[in-house]
Amino acid sequence: MRIVGLVLAGFLAVFAAGVCWIGNDIYGETLQVDPACHDAPLFTADSAKLTIASNPLAHQIDPSVYSGVQAVSFPSRDGKVDVAGLLSPPRDGAPLVIATHGFTGCKHHKHGLSIIGILASAGFGVLAIDLREHGESTVLDGVAALGSDEFNDVLGARDYALNTLGLAPSKVGFWGESMGGATTLIANTYEDLGPIFVDAPFSDIKLVMKDNSDRASVPPWTVEIISIAVQILRNYNFTAASPIDGLAERAEQAIFWVHGTADETVGIHHAELAHAAVATHRQKQFLIADGVSHVATMWDRPSEYRLSLVSFFDKHLKD
């Protein structure tokens, strides 16, 4: 019987290892980062002007702001990677907004460059960063951790703003879209980031994985197994902190959440869960754009988006 028990234990160990390997492999294939960043050209002042020309808000952007943009880099909070950024320096005591892209995006993408242009034209400094595995930041394994590791990059950007640029915490705010918004909210569970504007973030990592499990050709229930496998083999912990926790962490913290009802990547139920979690928080605002798809509010309802964005940071960052 002892031999049978040992054989059974060995079989179970091999089976569990195989399941972990398969789960980790599925995750790695599905969340592999596209290094081309949607074929966005590397930043130059001229390329930025061409890139944002398609934005319906282009007429609200002073193209000269791109001439002052600088390439910078700094360490992530955990010290594992160097974070690359584009800095439009704050002038004459102006506040700074740290901008974070979504999955497979980067600081050179038209969304990030548009945010630099919109906010810099309105008198803000902007620091647009590349999360690890993306753009010009350090690549560790080429696979996104959906914010569970990348939050350190956002905190590293804050450290750079406070320690290198010498800004007061009250002069720093954050913008993030999709995974970048979720990553920023996760960072907010660790320390108060101040005013945050997020565009279509997910409220929970495992929930958004289940929502999109069909893309990996697996049933939603396998996400629980995949999450365990990824934690063991990649050290990504999807339950240590959640975006919705960062949203609800501080009742008086100003946070603005934008979401489209036709979002098929991060469903509107993420915004509904978020709204329910902070229903009594008077400083939390939501803009729900009817019929708008994922991170498309800036393009489909540009005037409303810009007004919401600029007025939010005017109110909470400027004296």
Compute the average pLDDT of residues 212-218: 84
Q: Is the pLDDT reported for residue 132 higher than 70?
A: yes
Q: What is the DSSP string of 71-127?
A: EEEEE-TTSS-EEEEEEE---TT--EEEEE--TT--TTSHHHHHHHHHHHHTT-EEE
The Cα 86–Cα 56 span in angstroms is 22
Q: Is the pLDDT reported for residue 187 higher than 60?
A: yes
Q: Is the pLDDT reported for residue 139 higher than 70?
A: yes
What's the pTM? 0.93
The average confidence (pLDDT) of the chain is 92
| Residue 121: partners with Cβ closer than 8 Å, 6 or more residues away | 60, 61, 62, 65
Range of lowest pLDDT (73-77, 81-85, 215-219, 314-318): 215-219
The Cα 90–Cα 119 span in angstroms is 11
Which single residue is written with the structure tokens 């993030």?
176
Q: Is the pLDDT reported for residue 5 higher than 60?
A: no
The band of 80, judged by pLDDT with boundaries at 50, 70 and 90, is very high
Torsion of CA 98, 101, 106, 110, to 10 degrees: -90
Q: How far is CA 49 from CA 42, 52, 67, 125, in A?
A: 12, 6, 10, 18
Q: What is the pLDDT of residue 215?
A: 79
The Cα 154–Cα 145 span in angstroms is 14
Domains within the chain, CATH numbers bracketed: 1-30+217-238 (no CATH), 37-204+242-317 (3.40.50.1820)
Q: What is the pLDDT of residue 105?
A: 96
For residue range 147-174, list pLDDT tens digits in order. 999 999 999 999 999 999 999 999 999 9
> CB under 8 Å, gap of 24 or more: what pairs does 40-47 form?
40/106, 40/108, 40/109, 40/110, 41/108, 42/108, 43/69, 43/71, 43/86, 43/107, 43/108, 43/113, 45/69
Q: Is the pLDDT reported for residue 233 higher than 70?
A: yes
Q: What is the pLDDT of residue 16?
A: 45
Tell me if 230 sits within 8 A of 24, measured CB to CB. Answer: yes
For residue range 103-127, list pLDDT tens digits in order. 999 999 999 999 999 999 999 999 9
